[in-house]
Structure formats: C-alpha cells, structure tokens
Chain A
C-alpha cells in the first residue's frame, strides 16, 4: 500500500504539469497570437503602465521625494499594483469562459486560475526586470541592496493576490453583483495597496492600521530590499502569508462547490 501512494502522487504531479504547460501555451496563443512579438506582449502592458505613469509623476513632482527617486518609486509601486488588478480582473467568470475545457477530465477548474495567475505574474516580473535594468543603466534606479528581501516581498504580494483570485473566481460565478462591484473596489483599494505611499510617511499611530493590508507588507519588503538602508520600512512576513492561507482555504472550498454546479454546453 505504502509503495503505491508515492507513485500515484508522482503520476498525478506529472499530469498536473502537463496540463498547466498545455493550458499556458493555449492561453498565450489565444490571447497574443503568433504575430510579431507574440507572447512578449504579456509584459508590454505593465511596462507601458509603469513607464508612462513614472514619467508623468517625474514631470509633476520632480526627481525625488522623501529622499528616493520618483521614477523608481513609481515603478516599484505600479508593477505589483498592475499584477493585482490584472489577476483579479482575469479571475471573473473564468470558469464559464473555459467551460469547453471541462470535456477533458484531467483539467480541473483550479488549473484555470493557476494558469492565468502564472501568466500575469511572469509578465509583470519580466516587465519589472526589463524596466529596472534600463533605469539602472541610466542610474535612475538603485541596484537592489538585498535582492532576497525584494524577491520575498514580491512572493508575499503574489501569494496574497493569488489567494484573492481563488476566492473571486468562484464568487463571481455565484453572484453577478460581485462582477459589477469589482472594478470600483480594486480602484478604491489603491490607497491601501502600498503602491504610492510608504508606511514611514504616516504618523506612528496610523502605521499599524495600514499594515493590516497584506499588500502593504509585501510592497514594504520589496522596497526595503531595493533601497536597503535608505528607507525605513515596516512589515511582517507571517501576517500576509497567514491571511493568504485562510483566503486560499476558503477559495478552494468555494471552487469545489462551484464545480458541482457548472453547466457545460
């Protein structure tokens, strides 16, 4: 019995790997096609967003604020924010949109959420690396003081965004009201995303409240890793991860429930 289990697990992982691989390629082809730069389009949007907003801020507010370069500050804020807004938007009605794939039993509806998330995550990461490299060449971006902390912050941010997707995907299937409210909610979220403010700018009394937002913890970690000693950052690693775990657990239960009700044409 005990010898059967690991091989079944390995078999399952193999199938899972194949499915994710196939779905990613399928999604990339349907979304970006094979013309011109193909799948590289997935980094263009975050790149343009972060780049153009950074230029506008640079023109409106000068080159530095609170002792850090405005351009670099906006880029480190906008890249994560784009990830969050894109993945949440892409999770809405994700099951109905892909329902024809339910014909293949090895594809689970959870795979759709994973695949769309991975594509957005890769796209924003590529955009970040690209834009940061260029800015470093022009001396407008610091060389990360603590790359480990920067990557850890990014992963914390991603983990929380992913757990939100796991909840929003099934909820959007259950209620159409949610779909209507989502765009405005993600917009209102911006001040609590940590993208355009630092915790240290707030009065000490307010700091603990803004840190209730898991996003803020992730962005603070990223910026702490990039600027090192130049910035004072406040964060907790375990709190956002804990929230993500709870949200993921709720999301997985909801996904199971929705699966039973999906009607496929």
Chain B
C-alpha cells in the first residue's frame, strides 16, 4: 500500500514559488491500476517522482509498505557513459539480484544484442525504454511507476510490455502517466486528473477521460 497525505510540492521561481502540487492525498491499494491524466506540466511526472522518492515533497508524507520501482521514464536511473551491461550490473548490485540471471533476462527481454556493449548515451529513446523496462521487470517490484515510456516502443516492444505487465503481473500495482487513452481505458481501474496543481481522484475512468479531453 502507498498512502500519500497532504502532499505539496513547489519549486523556487524568480522571487516566488511555483506550486506544482497542492494538498494531494491518495491511497494506493495493491493491484490498483491508476492512470494519471493531465496536460503537459500539470504535475503528473512530479507526482511520480515523489512516489518514487526521487524528489522529496515540500510538505506532506508518503508511507510505503510495498516495493516501488524507480520512475520509468525517458531519463534517470542510467549512467549514459556506461554500457547497457554495466548499468545492468550496477542495478543488480544495488538491488541485491544475481547478475548472471539479470543479464540473461535483459538480453532476452530487450533484444538489443551487441548494442548492450555500447554506452547508453548512444541509444535511441526506444532502446532506452527497452533497457529501463527490462531492468525494472528483472527486479520484480510490487508497484511500477511508469512515466509515458510504454508509448515510445515499437509494436513488438508494446506487445511484450503488455504481456509482462498486464498478464504475467496482473496482481501488481501500476501507476501510469500517459496520454494514450486507449491503454488507460483498457487497463486502469482508477484515475487521477491533474489540473492547476489540484488533483481529483475517481474510480470512474471513463468520466476522468472525458474530463481530461475537455481540459
């Protein structure tokens, strides 16, 4: 379970502060699939970063009783100058997983072949997505934080993600920031709409999508 209470996040901007999130409270239950909806800059990614512990809230608390992945997005979590294998080894070490197994898993999942011997900074965003996803699936978290990243892959990758996340790991929790309404309609059971720093939470995903489309 993840319990967020009265989360606020603001950044210094000029002489004042920009309030990205105000007073957000949310309770995430096991096996929830939560969609985060909102326009660019509405605070979805910031919320994901707070959940993942990448940044700390300006006020409010987050209590986590399940293991949460790092935010899977376009950047972060990698060292660009290291190769794919080195990054995998690093992740295996800090999460205490056997590297041999991890190596086999990502070779199989990412299908990047010899490219894994190249520095990650030479990867395209689709390739990065494959690696990030492969690594986090190898760790096996209770909850996955996904920041748009499923969308960048090709058909084959999307199919794989779909299988790994929505079939093999149905019982896991998913928090998904996305503009792909099709995927959200199909898989999510709850939605949070972000607007002017306020977040409204609902169980009616179809209505949340309507609301988002009117934004």
* Interface residues in chain A, defined as those with a beta carbon under 8 Å from any beta carbon in chain B: 14-15, 18-19, 21-22, 25-26, 29-30, 100-107, 259-260, 262-265
Contacts and interface: CB of A to CB of B under 8 A. Distances in A.
23 contacts: A18-B96, A22-B93, A22-B94, A25-B90, A26-B79, A26-B82, A26-B86, A29-B86, A30-B82, A100-B75, A100-B76, A100-B79, A102-B55, A103-B70, A103-B76, A103-B77, A104-B77, A104-B94, A105-B68, A105-B70, A107-B94, A260-B58, A265-B75
Contacts of B93: 18, 21-22, 25
B77 A106 contact: no
Given A18-B93, A19-B94, A26-B90, A103 B82 contact: no
Interface of B: 11, 49, 52-56, 58, 68, 70-71, 75-79, 81-82, 86, 89-91, 93-96
State the main secondary structure of chain B at its contact with A.
Answer: loop
B78 A104 contact: no
State the main secondary structure of chain A at its contact with B.
Answer: helix
B149 to A, nearest CB: 13
Contacts, number: 62
A103 B71 contact: yes
Contacts of B94: 18-19, 22, 104, 106-107
A21 to B, nearest CB: 6
B11 to A, nearest CB: 7
A107 B91 CA distance: 11
A263 B53 CA distance: 12
B52 A259 contact: no
B70 A104 contact: yes
Query: What 5 pairs between A and B have smallest CB-CB spacing?
Result: A22-B93, A103-B70, A103-B77, A105-B53, A103-B76
A100 to B, nearest CB: 5
